[in-house]
Amino acid sequence: TAHTAREPPLRPPRGGQRARDTTPQKVSVEVLEHLEHLALVDFRDAEGVERLQKAIQFADQLHEVNTDGVEPMDSVLEDRCLYLREDDVTEGNCTKELLENATEKVEEYFVAPPVNLLSGGESKPLSHS
């Protein structure tokens, strides 16, 4: 399948000391196929491309943040000792009530639709039409 017609623009990072280049770049075919595989979404239609473009635009907001002088960190809580507390169970034994919300159930289990798998265990993108 030819992916070149459906490649949404991807702007380069613009934060920190980098030059502010606003020239849109194209998402490579390999990256697009990888995203389809991970997200199980088909980007071959206009709606799929639009959703991807909106996600990229949302993520691009991170490039607007000036991170000069900001040290990378592992966790905001790494210098604190976190203590466990006892669980305070206020309700329980509500299996029947929970299962009443299930569209489909077998015994005491929710039934979920299977993951879209092709032969060989490879995932197939979902079509959002």
d(C-alpha 17, C-alpha 26), whole Å: 23
Question: Computed from CA positions of residues 89, 90, 92, 98, in that sequence, does the dihedral angle turn out positive or negative?
Answer: negative
User: How many CB atoms lie under 10 A from the CB of residue 8?
Assistant: 19
Q: Look at 129 and 52; give whichever has higher pLDDT.
A: 52
Residue type present at position 54:
K
Residue 2: predicted pLDDT: 41
Residue pair 49/32 in contact by the 8 Å Cβ criterion: no
Task: Report the pLDDT averaged over residues 52-65.
Answer: 84
Task: Report the pLDDT averaged over residues 86-95.
Answer: 83
Residue 15: predicted pLDDT: 45
